[in-house]
Structure formats: C-alpha cells, structure tokens
C-alpha cells in the first residue's frame, strides 16, 4: 500500500503542510509516525482519500464537523438508514444555505446594476 509524506500531499492537492497539519489536529487525518522520535508523518492511502474529501467538502462550503461526519459515513457501510438520513439532512441544510446565498447574490447584483445605470445616466446628462 503506498504511503505519502506531508510534502507530497501538499504538492498534489496544492495546499500548505500547515493546512494538512490543521486537518490532522481537527481529527480528519491520522498519519502514522516514523523516524527519530516519531517526528515524521507517514500518510496512508486512507489519509490521502480523507484529505481529498475534506478539500472537496471545503470547496462546497461545508463546515469541518459536517465534513468529518460525511467522511466517517463514507468509511462505514453506506446502507444503514440512520447514516443515509443524516447525510440527506446535511445536504438539505447545505442546499438551503446555498440557495439563500444565491438569492442574496442576485439581489446584490440587481442593486449594483441599478446603481451603475443611475451613475451612467448622470454621467451622460453632464456631457
């Protein structure tokens, strides 16, 4: 089974080693330790997958606790009713948040457009 260093994962996913250590501190990653005094982190394929899912969740705007829950569900049997119910609840909550943000953005864009039109009209009138 392949293993990875923190530098390799950082380069592959275009994040800093500090970001990876932060996710480790949050319990999202659990690398093995090797070297003198166990100072060198050795990441497994499981850790790589968890990092990939974490970054995907962050891009979607999920919180770290939501990401942790989803990753934990990913690693356990996916056919249990409570897990799927919880997964659907997280998705529904996130969908609602995104839909509200979209409405807010559309309203803001509409206001900006109105201000632009007014400013353009004032500029035209002064020419």
Q: Is residue 70 part of a domain?
A: no
49 and 93 inside one domain: no
Q: Is residue 36 part of a domain?
A: yes
Q: Give the chain's domain count.
A: 2
5 and 55 inside one domain: yes
Contact present, 99 and 93 (Cβ < 8 Å): no
94 and 125 inside one domain: yes
Which whole-number Å values give the CA distances from 68 to 91, 100, 101, in the listed order? 14, 24, 23
Contact present, 13 and 52 (Cβ < 8 Å): yes
pLDDT class for 1, splitting at 50, 70, 90? confident
Q: Is residue 66 part of a domain?
A: no
Q: Is residue 98 part of a domain?
A: yes
80 and 35 inside one domain: no
pLDDT tens-place string over residues 5-42: 999 999 999 999 999 999 999 999 999 988 776 788 99
Distance (Å, whole) CA 124 – CA 127:
5
The CATH number assigned to the domain holding 25 equals 1.10.1660.10
- Residue 124, domain extent: 76-127
41 and 83 inside one domain: no
54 and 106 inside one domain: no
For the chain, give the secondary structure using H, E and C: CCCECHHHHHHHHCCCHHHHHHHHHCCCCCCEEECHHHCEEEECHHHHHHHHHHHHHHHCCCCHHHHHHHHHHHHCCCCCHHHHHHHHHHHHHHHHHHHHHHHHHHHHHHHHHHHHHHHHHHHHHCC
1 and 56 inside one domain: yes
Q: Is the pLDDT of residue 111 over 90?
A: yes
pLDDT tens-place string over residues 54-97: 999 898 888 898 888 888 777 766 567 777 787 788 889 889 99
Structure token pair of residue 117: 């039109």
pLDDT class for 124, splitting at 50, 70, 90? very high
């Amino acid at each position: 089974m392949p293993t990875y260093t923190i530098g390799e994962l950082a380069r592959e996913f275009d994040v800093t080693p500090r970001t990876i250590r932060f996710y480790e501190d949050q319990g999202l990653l659990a690398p093995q330790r090797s070297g003198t005094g166990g100072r060198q982190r050795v990441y497994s394929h499981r850790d790589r997958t968890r990092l990939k899912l974490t970054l995907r969740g962050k891009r979607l705007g999920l919180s770290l606790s939501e990401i942790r829950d989803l990753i934990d569900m990913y690693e356990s049997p996916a056919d249990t009713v409570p897990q799927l119910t919880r997964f659907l609840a997280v998705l529904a909550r996130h969908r609602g948040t995104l839909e509200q943000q979209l409405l807010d953005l559309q309203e803001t864009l509409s206001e900006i457009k109105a201000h632009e039109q007014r400013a353009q009209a004032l500029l035209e009138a002064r020419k």
